[in-house]
Every structure is written in structure tokens, then in C-alpha cells.
Structure 1
Amino acid sequence: MTDASYAWIYEDPIHSYFSFFTTAVSVCSNGLLLFILYTTKIGPYVYLLAVFAVCDIFTSCAHSAFQPIVHMTYGGFYFFPRHGKIVIAGKSFDSIFTLIFIATYYQTFLVLAYHFVYRYKIVSRGITTSCTNNWKRLHWAFLGVLINILYIFGMILISSRFTPSEETREIAPIEIEEIYGIDLRDSNRGFTVLAVRVFYAL
């Protein structure tokens, strides 16, 4: 792929070993956390921690399976599968898998934001007044599910702008094929591209 002396750090097989190791650590550590939560009574916070652990396991596995190569150019960021062309029943799933990677990447921020909201409510209990002071566990669960649904809907809504079109295939940088041996002009190749800008020579 590259001739840099340090390229072995981020290329296979080192990258695959690293990805497998970190995923295994995530699954084991979060699995242990779920076991502790199941066998220990620590109050309502247990549900938030459980959601966080499950989300982290899902995110780690998704990133290990779908982690794409990210190539930055003057025109934007190109995401394409690291493990080659993914075609199932004659249909390319490259773009779908790269979108799953992007979606699960930002999914963690939703859970972290919920953690901060919970901590704020605990610290400010009895000090501030809010319409959520009398909320039950069901209300907070409903809010979390609603926000997640809106997030997924938003990702689906804008994903059409990320997936390849005839225009983005035509302007795909030749350097990607030269470096990675992947021709993004191939209609069976899927990719995701963010913030494409076309530069014209004067």
C-alpha cells in the first residue's frame, strides 16, 4: 500500500491483530461489567451502565468487522472497505457497511451525553426545579429510545448524500487506486464520501 518505513504499524496483519485484541478486550470487560450489574444492586444507574456496556460491545464488534480505510483528499474523505469488495447476491454492500461504521461511531456520543444528563440530575437534585424532576424510569427510557430513533432516521435521511453517484465515481481520486489498488469507478465497488468539493484547473 505505502512505502513508509512505519507503514507496518497500521497495515495488515498488525492492524488485524490490534483490532481483534481491542475487540476481545471490549467484549470481555463489558461482559464482566454486565455480570457485575446483574449480580449487584447499585440503584437506577444500573440500567444506564447496562445500556452503555451493550452499546460498547456492539460498537466494538461493528468497528472490527466493518472498519474501512479512510482516505483524505482535497475534495473530501473517502471511506471504503478494508477487506475488499463485499458483494452479496450480486449487490455491493460496501456503502452500507461503511455507513454502519460511521453510525456506530457517533452512537457512543449519545450514550455519553445521557451519562452527563444523569449525573447532572443527581448532583442538582433538590437544588433546581425542572419539568423532569418527577419523571419516572419509563420517561427517561422513552426519551432515550426517541433520541436514538431520531438519530437513526437522520442518518438514513442524509445517507443518500454520502453514497456514491455517477459524479462522485467520475471524480474519485486516481491516487486511491495507485495506493490501495482499489478502483472506485467500478460500479461493484461501494464507498462513502463526505464533503466532496470539485476543484477545476484555471
Structure 2
Amino acid sequence: RCFLAVSIISNVVLILTITRSTKMQMGNYRYLLLCFATGEMISSLSHSWISPIVHLTETGFFLFPKHANELKLENASTGKTVCLFYMMTYYEIFNILTFHFIYRAMDVLRGPFREWTMHWQWVHWLAAALVFTGLQSSLIVWAVSF
């Protein structure tokens, strides 16, 4: 729980710094950092609350809900939903790091792709992130359904 507190406090400080500072010229990178801080807090909350038990095998792994006895009282599919939520929040940070890399690469590179995204507003980046995250979440649900 100590890591959760450190994560929440540091990300709240980052959000306050980004939203209240007018001296920094960050442009659209400001929105990317806000998404990262928010996603990191959600991920920290899910990891501290859910924290499934992972069982590795030769061909893959199984995720069992840590609070299986409490979840049995509610519904049999609740445990599966909780594990899916854990996986999605785990991989969501990688999505944001990918967008960090793409944003920085577009800032450094020259060429047609940079010109294509140069005039994007935060809404365009948000739409691209939602499509990418939706596709990845669908693939995770599809992969664990076997």
C-alpha cells in the first residue's frame, strides 16, 4: 500500500504542476502527460486492490483473483472480469509509453508522417489513443477467451 500512496501523491503533484504552470511551453505534450499520470493512478489502484495470483505453466499463465472467496459470493464471472481489468490496466501504461515515443519521434523526425500529424490537436491524439486501446483491449479479451 506504500507504493500506492507514493504513486497517487506523485501523480497528483504532476497533474497540479501541469495544469497550474503557465511558464512551461509544453503544447500538446501537456495532454499526454496528463493521460499518463491519470493512467498511472488507475493502474496503481488496480494493482493494489486486485493483485491476482499468477500461475505460470509451460505454455502460458493463469490469473486467479486474490480475493476469490469474496468474489464467489457475488458472481462466478466477477473474478474473470476483475482479472481482465487488471490485465487491461497493466497494458494501458505501455500504450501511453508508446504514444510518448511516437510523439517524441514525430517531434524529431522529418518527412510525410510528421507533416500528417503536425497539425493534430489533442482531440486527434485522444481519438487515436482510444482506437488503439480499444483494439488492444479487444485482443486481450479475445486471447483470454480460449
- Tell me the number of residue pairs that the alignment of Structure 1 and Structure 2 aligns: 140
Are residues 74 and 107 of structure 1, via their aligned partners in 2, closer, same or farther at CA, if it must alter by over 3 Å? same
Distance 1:158 1:76, change over 3 A: closer
From the superposition, tell whether residues 84 and 46 of structure 1 become closer, same or farther in structure 2 (CA, over 3 Å). Answer: same
Q: Indicate whether 1:153 and 2:138 are aligned.
A: yes
In the TM superposition, what is the alpha-carbon distance from 1:75 to its structure 2 partner?
Answer: 5.0
Structure 2 counterpart of 1:40, from 7, 21, 26: 21
CA RMSD of aligned residues (A): 1.9
Q: Does 1:104 align with 2:89?
A: yes
Show structure 1 runs of 5+ residues with no match. Answer: 1-19, 162-202
Equivalent residue number for residue 61 of structure 1: 45
Give the TM-score taking structure 1 as reference length. Answer: 0.63
Instruction: Name the counterpart of 1:129.
Output: 112
Deviation of 1:90 after TM superposition, in Å, equals 4.4
Residue deviations 1:31-72, cap 9 Å, x none?
111111111133321110000000000000001111111122
> Considering only CA atoms, is the larger Rg found in Structure 1 or Structure 2?
1
2:123 is aligned, of 128, 138, 147, to 138
TM-score using structure 2 length: 0.84
Q: What's the counterpart of residue 74 of structure 1?
A: 58
Q: CA deviation at 1:137?
A: 3.0
Match of 1:95 in 2: 80
- Answer yes or no: is 1:28 the counterpart of 2:9: yes
Give the aligned partner of residue 50 of structure 1. Answer: 34
Q: Is the 8 A contact 2:56 2:62 kept in 1?
A: yes
Question: Structure 2, unaligned stretches of length 5 or more?
Answer: none
> Alpha-carbon deviations, 1:126-171, whole Å to 9, x = none?
x32322233333222221121122222222333322xxxxxxxxxx
Q: Is the 8 A contact 2:50 2:86 kept in 1?
A: yes
Whole-Å Cα distance in 1 between the matches of residues 125 and 89 of structure 2? Answer: 22
